[in-house]
Amino acid sequence: MRRRAVEDLRGCVRVLEAVHAANAYPMWWPADPAGWLSPVGWTAAWVAEVAGVVVGHVCVVRGVEDPLVTSVTGAGPDQLGMVSRLFIAPEARGRGLGGSLLAAGSLYASELGLQLMLDVVDDGGPAVALYERAGWRLVERRLADWTTPQGDRVPMRIYLAPR
């Protein structure tokens, strides 16, 4: 586990392609996958490696506006961060790498005094299990503000990091 470097983006995109093919994440393939890995507001990112090869990624975004999370926590955009772009290569799963990436982002947020949140598709899949095992607290279920390629709005879960 280490901070992401510019040189890692090519490997991150390779892993993202495999995750997209296996799990349809992201649901829409981005026009600029390397740019997608650095969303507006991102402040830090990490990669997981196995034998020197990038197999996972996560970033933390600051300046998040979410009225419900603000009402629950009192954290406004200057104090609210979001886990984003978390994925692990299909062949590298089951080694605790997702939890390690999540922990790296959580530690970073804690050091900055940020309340960390995340959203995840409510499909009962392994990502939901990961967050719940790690002690994240479900605070809301809502429909996504984006649509699938079929035009559907999917159910989402909103979680807060353990304090």
What is the per-residue pLDDT across 95-130, written as a single tens digit (0 to 9) for each? Answer: 999 999 999 999 999 999 999 999 999 987 889 999
Residue 118 has what pLDDT? 97
The CB density around residue 76, as the number of other CB atoms within 10 Å, is: 15
- The mean predicted confidence, pLDDT, of the chain is 95
Residue 60 has what pLDDT? 98
The number of folded domains in the chain is: 1
Residue 4 has what pLDDT? 98
Distance of CA 59 to the CA centre of its chain: 7
- Domain range enclosing 85: 2-160
The average pLDDT across 125-146 equals: 94
Q: Render pLDDT for 26-35 as a digit per residue (tens, 0 to 9).
A: 999 999 999 9
- Please say if the pLDDT value at position 163 is more than 80: no
The average pLDDT across 60-65 equals: 95
Residue 69 has what pLDDT? 94
Query: Any idea what the CATH number is for the domain that residue 27 is in?
Result: 3.40.630.30
The pTM assigned to this predicted structure is: 0.94
Q: Determine the 3-state secondary structure of 140 from DSSP.
A: strand
Q: Render pLDDT for 1-31 as a digit per residue (tens, 0 to 9).
A: 999 999 999 999 999 999 999 999 999 999 9
The average pLDDT across 73-79 equals: 92
- Please say if the pLDDT value at position 44 is more than 90: yes
Long-range contacts of 104-113 (CB under 8 A, 24+ apart): 104/1, 104/46, 104/58, 105/44, 105/46, 105/58, 105/59, 105/60, 106/161, 106/162, 108/44, 108/60, 109/60, 109/81, 109/161, 112/81, 113/79
